[in-house]
Amino acid sequence: MPLTDVQWVLGHAYLSTTQRYLNPVTEEVIAGVLAFHARQRLRDPGPTPAPDYRPESMQILFGKGPS
């Protein structure tokens, strides 16, 4: 897709604004991915375990709690 089409879709007045996204800063990408996953966890915390399982055991098993 031509960059000018992306510029139009994003509503940028200047192509230079759109070009900023062509060379992302590594730390910003990592922060964005981590923020995305945090939002996903808030939206869908995942299935609840069956009643016979202890939640703390499941957290340890899947690496989300103390070992």
Please give the pLDDT value at position 8: 95
Q: Give the percent of the chain with pLDDT over 70.
A: 90
Q: What is the pLDDT of residues 1-17, one digit of tens each?
A: 899 999 999 999 999 99
Q: What is the pLDDT of residues 49-62, one digit of tens each?
A: 778 888 788 778 87
pTM of the predicted protein model:
0.40
End-to-end alpha carbon distance in the chain: 48
Distance between CA atoms of residues 20 and 10, nearest Å: 13
Which of 51, 50, 52, 49 lies closest to 64 in space, CA to CA? 49
